[in-house]
Homo-oligomer: A and B are copies of this chain.
Amino acid sequence: MQKNGYRVQFTSSRIRDLMFRTTFDPKIMDGDIILNLSLIDKKDLDDVLGIFKMVISSGLSVTPYVKIVSEGESIGDLTIEKGKVGIGTVCSITIDGVLLKAGIPVNPKLGGVVQIRNGVPVRFTDVLTYVSTTVDPLEILMSQGITSVSEMLRTGSGKILANLREAPMVARDEIESCLSDLLDAGFSGILEVGEPNTRVLDVPIERDHLGIVVIGGTNPMAVVQEYGIDIDTSAMSRLISFKEMSRIEDLV
């Protein structure tokens, strides 16, 4: 969605802004992360939390942490209106922010839908590059009726939201060290790290680069939508302190 009052802003530009402002340090599990925030009807909260728990415990999220904002409470400049609840997940672009702060020139490239067959990611079937859209790719794709995250949870095969970034292969050791720290901090949503100069899930990668595919933080929201529950999602909504997030098991 267009956030500034004038001139189109492509998602890639907004992402660079958010990456710069990411201060999360996986080693101390502190600092600011990027949040996907959805608004739901208060009456649906129990159902939505149940769905989130199911999706997150199946590994289809960036981290097991969520943020609940009750009616009347504020998050940044947003106050949750009466009858509504805000529910947020960690956005996968947080990982790009962490890689950047480790000195790795990472380039978030595209968001898309990845086909999973019997638990194994096969290929991207639909993609949108960040450099060319003013509306967030995953926000768009989750409203097109082309995901089947709930089917994936039930049968092991389906279509989930994911995104791809490229980084130079010379940085491989630093990337692996960073991703390992992130994994220790609960960032389990890394779907695939490609070999240098090799297509990743059927998407070509720039010469001397490798591709990293991360599960979209909005997959739990996509399942809520697939279940026909009203949900209004802003991907990459804002930054909040990681300390404000709770593990889903502590809520449901």
Q: Could you list which residues of chain A lie within 8 angstroms of chain B, going by C-beta atoms?
A: 1-2, 7-8, 110, 112, 124-129, 131-135, 139-141, 143-144, 146, 202-203
Contacts and interface: CB of A to CB of B under 8 A. Distances in A.
Given A132-B133, A135-B144, A140-B140, A126 B2 contact: yes
Contacts of A135: 126, 128, 140-141, 144, 146
A144 B134 contact: no
Contacts of A127: 8, 133-134
A226 to B, nearest CB: 15
B129 A8 contact: no
A140 B140 CA distance: 6
A146 B140 CA distance: 12
Given A1-B126, A8-B124, 8 more contacts: A2-B126, A8-B112, A126-B135, A128-B134, A129-B133, A131-B132, A135-B140, A140-B144
Nearest to A136: B144
A142 to B, nearest CB: 10
Nearest to A9: B126
A160 to B, nearest CB: 15
Given A1-B146, A141-B135, A144-B143, A126 B8 contact: yes
B134 A132 contact: no
Contacts of A134: 112, 125-128
Contacts of A144: 1, 135, 139-140, 143
Contacts of A112: 8, 134
A8 to B, nearest CB: 5
The residue among A1, A129, A140 with the most chain B CB atoms within 10 A of its own CB is A140
A140 B8 CA distance: 17
Contacts of A133: 127-129, 132-133
Contacts of A139: 144
A19 to B, nearest CB: 20
